[in-house]
Chains A and B, each alone.
Chain A
Amino acid sequence: MNAFSDTSQSGLSVKNLSVTFSSGGVSHTAVHSLSFSLTPGEVVALVGESGSGKTVTARALLGLSGPHAQITADHLSLNGRSLLANTEQQWRKIRGAEIGFILQDALVALDPLRSIGTEITEALTAHKWGTKTTREDRVLQLLTQAGIPLAKERVHLRADQLSGGLRQRALIASALAMNPPFLIADEPTTALDPSVQVQILELLKQLRAAGHGILIISHDLGFVSRLADRVIVMHHGHMVEEGRTADLLSAPRHSYTRRLLDAEPGRRPPRPSTPARQTALPLLEAHNLSFSVKRQDGTRKHIVQDISLSLFPGRTLALIGESGSGKTSTARMIMGFQKPETGFIDFLGEPWSRSEKAGVPESARRGRRPRLAAIYQDPLSSFDPRWTVQTILDDALSVIHVPKPERMTRIRALLDQVRLPDTLLSKNPLLLSGGQRQRVAIARALAVEPSVILCDEPVSALDVSVQAQILDLLDDLQKRLHLSYLFISHDLNVVRNIADDLIVMQHGRIIESGTAQDVLTHPRHPFTQELVAAAHLIGDATSSLPS
């Protein structure tokens, strides 16, 4: 099973690598005695949640750990040459030329003020490669190889002028400029839409086939499982398990690995289907909503068109769409913060929003607002920066006029419901973890006794295992309190086990809708089919295996 040898002649060889950071008298060991190897033509994945030490490892392999880091290892070598005592100059020769580095999100990983052509050329000039003309040709060649059509026209564009997929390819092209035999990719697809993720996955497969050795850093077991030959699982800086992908996924030995696998959204059982009860009245009904903005040059940009949806008691309606699909605008119209240009929204049987000039005044809505709560992707920005958890919940209770003496009991009960300890009451949410903050946000939403909760990408920013916990919590609360959810997400895997009904949006329109089971098993629109295929591709490896 152990697939590394001490003195491998070709490849990256790491034995007992430790990285410790010291600053101002405090020191912290981020990586403890990590060992692995990487040979050309294979993909090794370093998997773990935030704080696992995977990113630190990646940086250490390029000498980019920063001045506060102390790196020790029995063995850290590239093709037989030890890297431990490298000077900065020696490192510079290796960076880009022998080991390439790809960061996530090309929008910020490439200099936003320079064109992609300049960025890639820089990779060549840094190693004094070629002449001006040969470099130009090479840049075009690299762009085309990375799968960017019309390279000649696009070479002068900046990262922000390209789509997500194209700029990620440009980023990969810049890493490949000197054709380094090894690549380190740090979360290469995390910031991308699922359909684009699949494309990048294919590109990386091609690179493996071409003989590159790739080290993938990721928190996403599902994605990694489709690409990696071997997987190393890290937890708090330690390697807890290592092995061939198929073996590790089918028969994980360490409990942490098992936990990670179970938390994978793709692994979670799909929602048992409940037929839509036509007899019940919808709590929230929206019909023919649309919204557009005027561009600088006077033309109209249609953000959403002809959106209609109905939310029934006790059910979850999931709204799926990639970035730019109009989900955010739809959410804002539903919340009553944006007046629709056409259509109407009724909430609890009464008018909630109208497109006519007079519209519905805020005072008509305010009474019902507690019944429509919301939780967001970044809960921290929804909290007043000066407030503690207790103040946040107390303030929420004041909306529904809970008398002061009762509030403390209720606050405790709320914390209990979201499974948070009382000790957090006096803390500012700044000090809490992402999962804890989201729970506080949920507690606040529950405090006002809602019938509907709008969940806008509530788990996208969380670690996989935490995601699972929050989704479980939401599921549990729904059953106990008979809540309805309008759940907005870009990730089909996440909504798979929480959605009763599903709406798919693209370019501001609804392209498919129906019960979740229908849409997921028999998608009709090509884009939905693409999404479903992407979700399966990425989640399938884990979900199709016996748990």
Chain B
Amino acid sequence: MISFPNSGFVFLKKLMIRVGGACLVLFAAATLTFITLHLAPGDPVTAILGGSANPTPETIREIREEYGLDQPLMVQYALHIWHVLSGHLGASFSQHMPVTDVLWQQAPPTLKLMLSSLVLAWVFAVLSVTLSARKPFFDSAFSSLETFFAGLPQFWIGIILLWLFAYQLGLLPPAGTHGFSSLILPSLSLAIPLGGFLAQVMRESFKTTLDQPFVLTARARGLSDNAVRFRHVLRHALLPGVSLSTWAVGALVGNAVAVEFIFSRQGVGRQLFLAVSMHDMPLVTGIILFISVVYILASFLADILYVIVDPRIQEARA
């Protein structure tokens, strides 16, 4: 009674749905940015000019024409979407550079930060869960610790770490974008709460799995306790963590804003914040789109990873 589904066709169909969904997300992202920035008070012209100069009516008119700001709203929206679809992200008002250039510059540090934070968080979580399961005392102690860490605000941890390691102990640089040492403190700030959260989820899952009959079967084969934990239980316990990692990526981007700010680190988070305060629509749109793309990719990867860890066909999942 072995079933061989028509996997090729199914895969393609699923892929199409994913891609369609992704486009929808990007479309929504572009629309959202358009709406918010047009609802914002303040004249974009001032933003474009940098706010300091006192523009003549001619200059204002010129700029309005150049940036299409004199067109009716719907037309501007259509143009906006068209630009996004065709990949013309325009030029940043505040930086006077093509948006793509800004992204090219600012994205790598953020991506590095996110990746290292995610990896660190996972390391913390896995270590915490596997090492503490020996005795009940450790179990509840670590669990409380994880809850505590999970609730700490990233920016606060950042500040404390900054104070401790950079100012008091002088071990690590307080600011900077390049180099390994400047990555440590920011990553820790993001990794600690995320690690606590992941650990909690996986701990829960670990415990539930330990009660399963197949664990008993494994013990009855003569496996040692460690072998049972690592070879059987761990894989099951990791699953919820993998699903959560998609969400985690999104959360990391959001929290990266504050962390990049604190550590004066280049990155899209900080840029986004600056761009928003300057009403720099092209840049804001560009960054939001970038974030959406990252999220979509992360989601895709997480799904693939999940299937690798748990190949069972999820027919029951509606």
Is A143 an interface position by the 8 A CB rule?
no
Instruction: Please give the number of chain A residues whose Cβ is less than 8 angstroms from any Cβ of chain B in the complex.
Output: 43
Shortest Cβ distance from A157 into B: residue:
B2
With A103-B213, A108-B214, A113-B235 as known contacts, state yes or no: A163 contacts B221, CB within 8 Å: no
Interface 1/0 per residue, A149-161 and B, CB below 8 Å: 0000110011011
Is A351 an interface position by the 8 A CB rule?
no
Q: Contact between A113 and B310 (Cβ–Cβ < 8 Å)?
A: yes
Interface 1/0 per residue, A73-115 and B, CB below 8 Å: 0000000000000001000111111001101110011111110
Chain A CB count within 10 A is highest, among B5, B221, B310, for B221
Is A295 an interface position by the 8 A CB rule?
yes
Q: Contact between A109 and B213 (Cβ–Cβ < 8 Å)?
A: yes
Residues from chain A with a CB closer than 8 A to the CB of B224 are 88, 92
Q: Contact between A95 and B222 (Cβ–Cβ < 8 Å)?
A: yes
Q: Which of A94, A108, A177 contacts B213 (CB 8 A)?
A: A108
User: Please, how many angstroms separate the alpha-carbon atoms of A175 and B231 in the complex?
Assistant: 18
Is B219 an interface position by the 8 A CB rule?
yes
Residues from chain A with a CB closer than 8 A to the CB of B10 are 296-297
The segment from A46-54, A119-127, A392-400, A476-484 found at the interface with B is A119-127
Shortest Cβ distance from B231 into A: residue:
A122
Q: Contact between B309 and A295 (Cβ–Cβ < 8 Å)?
A: no
With A103-B213, A110-B214, A113-B311 as known contacts, state yes or no: A297 contacts B219, CB within 8 Å: no
Is B38 an interface position by the 8 A CB rule?
no
Residues from chain A with a CB closer than 8 A to the CB of B6 are 297-299
Chain B CB count within 10 A is highest, among A157, A171, A174, A296, for A296
With A108-B213, A113-B236 as known contacts, state yes or no: A122 contacts B312, CB within 8 Å: no
Which residues from 7 to 28 on chain B have a C-beta closer than 8 Å to any C-beta of chain A? 9-10
Q: Which of A108, A112, A126, A166 contacts B1 (CB 8 A)?
A: A166
Is A466 an interface position by the 8 A CB rule?
no
Is A62 an interface position by the 8 A CB rule?
yes
User: Please, how many angstroms separate the alpha-carbon atoms of A120 and B84 in the complex?
Assistant: 56
Is B212 an interface position by the 8 A CB rule?
yes
Q: Contact between B217 and A163 (Cβ–Cβ < 8 Å)?
A: no
Q: Contact between A109 and B222 (Cβ–Cβ < 8 Å)?
A: no
B21 CB, nearest partner CB in chain A, Å: 17
Residues from chain B with a CB closer than 8 A to the CB of A295 are 5
With A113-B310, A160-B312, A166-B1 as known contacts, state yes or no: A174 contacts B217, CB within 8 Å: yes
User: Please, how many angstroms separate the alpha-carbon atoms of A122 and B309 in the complex?
Assistant: 19
Residues from chain A with a CB closer than 8 A to the CB of B297 are none
Residues from chain A with a CB closer than 8 A to the CB of B80 are none
Shortest Cβ distance from B217 into A: residue:
A109
Which residues from 222 to 241 on chain B have a C-beta closer than 8 Å to any C-beta of chain A? 222-225, 227, 231-232, 235-236
Q: Contact between A297 and B1 (Cβ–Cβ < 8 Å)?
A: no
Which residues from 193 to 213 on chain B have a C-beta closer than 8 Å to any C-beta of chain A? 212-213
User: Please, how many angstroms separate the alpha-carbon atoms of A112 and B225 in the complex?
Assistant: 19
Q: Contact between B223 and A126 (Cβ–Cβ < 8 Å)?
A: yes
Q: Which of A92, A104, A111, A298 contacts B232 (CB 8 A)?
A: A111
Is B81 an interface position by the 8 A CB rule?
no
Is B220 an interface position by the 8 A CB rule?
yes
Which residues from 266 to 288 on chain B have a C-beta closer than 8 Å to any C-beta of chain A? none
Is A533 an interface position by the 8 A CB rule?
no
Q: Contact between A162 and B1 (Cβ–Cβ < 8 Å)?
A: yes
B64 CB, nearest partner CB in chain A, Å: 54
Q: Contact between A103 and B216 (Cβ–Cβ < 8 Å)?
A: yes
Residues from chain A with a CB closer than 8 A to the CB of B218 are 111, 122
Range class of the B interface residue count: 20 to 34
Q: Contact between B217 and A101 (Cβ–Cβ < 8 Å)?
A: yes
A321 CB, nearest partner CB in chain B, Å: 16
Residues from chain B with a CB closer than 8 A to the CB of A122 are 218, 221, 223, 231
Q: Contact between A112 and B220 (Cβ–Cβ < 8 Å)?
A: no
Q: Contact between A113 and B309 (Cβ–Cβ < 8 Å)?
A: yes
User: Please, how many angstroms separate the alpha-carbon atoms of A299 and B3 in the complex?
Assistant: 13
Q: Contact between A64 and B219 (Cβ–Cβ < 8 Å)?
A: yes
Q: Which of A95, A112, A163, A177 contacts B219 (CB 8 A)?
A: A95
Which residues from 263 to 309 on chain A have a C-beta closer than 8 Å to any C-beta of chain B? 295-299
User: Please, how many angstroms separate the alpha-carbon atoms of A506 and B201 in the complex?
Assistant: 43
Q: Contact between B222 and A127 (Cβ–Cβ < 8 Å)?
A: yes
Q: Contact between B1 and A101 (Cβ–Cβ < 8 Å)?
A: no
Residues from chain B with a CB closer than 8 A to the CB of A105 are 213
Q: Contact between A126 and B222 (Cβ–Cβ < 8 Å)?
A: yes
Q: Which of B1, B214, B225, B311 contacts A163 (CB 8 A)?
A: B1
A52 CB, nearest partner CB in chain B, Å: 19
Q: Contact between B217 and A103 (Cβ–Cβ < 8 Å)?
A: yes
Interface 1/0 per residue, A457-489 and B, CB below 8 Å: 000000000000000000000000000000000
Q: Contact between B216 and A110 (Cβ–Cβ < 8 Å)?
A: no
Q: Contact between B5 and A297 (Cβ–Cβ < 8 Å)?
A: yes
User: Please, how many angstroms separate the alpha-carbon atoms of A103 and B214 in the complex?
Assistant: 9
Q: Contact between A92 and B309 (Cβ–Cβ < 8 Å)?
A: no
B276 CB, nearest partner CB in chain A, Å: 43
User: Please, how many angstroms separate the alpha-carbon atoms of A271 and B33 in the complex?
Assistant: 75
User: Please, how many angstroms separate the alpha-carbon atoms of A108 and B212 in the complex?
Assistant: 7
Residues from chain B with a CB closer than 8 A to the CB of A175 are 220
B226 CB, nearest partner CB in chain A, Å: 11
Q: Contact between B1 and A95 (Cβ–Cβ < 8 Å)?
A: no
User: Please, how many angstroms separate the alpha-carbon atoms of A443 and B162 in the complex?
Assistant: 67
User: Please, how many angstroms separate the alpha-carbon atoms of A429 and B191 in the complex?
Assistant: 45
A301 CB, nearest partner CB in chain B, Å: 10
Residues from chain A with a CB closer than 8 A to the CB of B217 are 101, 103, 109-110, 171, 174
A184 CB, nearest partner CB in chain B, Å: 8
Shortest Cβ distance from A101 into B: residue:
B220
A189 CB, nearest partner CB in chain B, Å: 15
Q: Contact between A126 and B309 (Cβ–Cβ < 8 Å)?
A: no
Residues from chain B with a CB closer than 8 A to the CB of A113 are 235-236, 309-312
Which residues from 106 to 146 on chain A have a C-beta closer than 8 Å to any C-beta of chain B? 108-114, 122-123, 126-127
Residues from chain A with a CB closer than 8 A to the CB of B5 are 295-297
B281 CB, nearest partner CB in chain A, Å: 43
User: Please, how many angstroms separate the alpha-carbon atoms of A114 and B234 in the complex?
Assistant: 13
Residues from chain B with a CB closer than 8 A to the CB of A100 are 220
User: Please, how many angstroms separate the alpha-carbon atoms of A122 and B236 in the complex?
Assistant: 17
B90 CB, nearest partner CB in chain A, Å: 42
Residues from chain A with a CB closer than 8 A to the CB of B3 are 161
Residues from chain B with a CB closer than 8 A to the CB of A174 are 217, 221
Shortest Cβ distance from A299 into B: residue:
B6
Chain A CB count within 10 A is highest, among B9, B216, B220, for B220
A162 CB, nearest partner CB in chain B, Å: 7
Residues from chain A with a CB closer than 8 A to the CB of B312 are 112-113, 158, 160
Residues from chain B with a CB closer than 8 A to the CB of A163 are 1
Residues from chain B with a CB closer than 8 A to the CB of A103 are 213, 216-217, 220
User: Please, how many angstroms separate the alpha-carbon atoms of A149 and B245 in the complex?
Assistant: 42
Residues from chain B with a CB closer than 8 A to the CB of A104 are 213
Q: Contact between A92 and B223 (Cβ–Cβ < 8 Å)?
A: yes
User: Please, how many angstroms separate the alpha-carbon atoms of A158 and B312 in the complex?
Assistant: 9
Q: Contact between B221 and A96 (Cβ–Cβ < 8 Å)?
A: yes
Given A94-B222, A105-B213, A126-B222, 20 additional A-B pairs, CB 8 A: A92-B223, A92-B224, A95-B220, A95-B221, A96-B221, A101-B220, A109-B217, A111-B232, A112-B214, A113-B235, A113-B311, A122-B218, A122-B221, A123-B221, A126-B221, A127-B222, A157-B2, A160-B312, A171-B217, A298-B9
A-B contact pairs, 13 of them (CB 8 A): A64-B216, A96-B222, A104-B213, A109-B213, A109-B216, A113-B312, A126-B222, A127-B222, A157-B2, A166-B1, A295-B5, A297-B9, A298-B9
Identify the 4 closest CB pairs spanning chains A and B, nearest first.
A101-B220, A297-B6, A163-B1, A96-B222
CB within 8 Å of A: which residues of B? 1-3, 5-6, 9-10, 212-214, 216-225, 227, 231-232, 235-236, 309-312
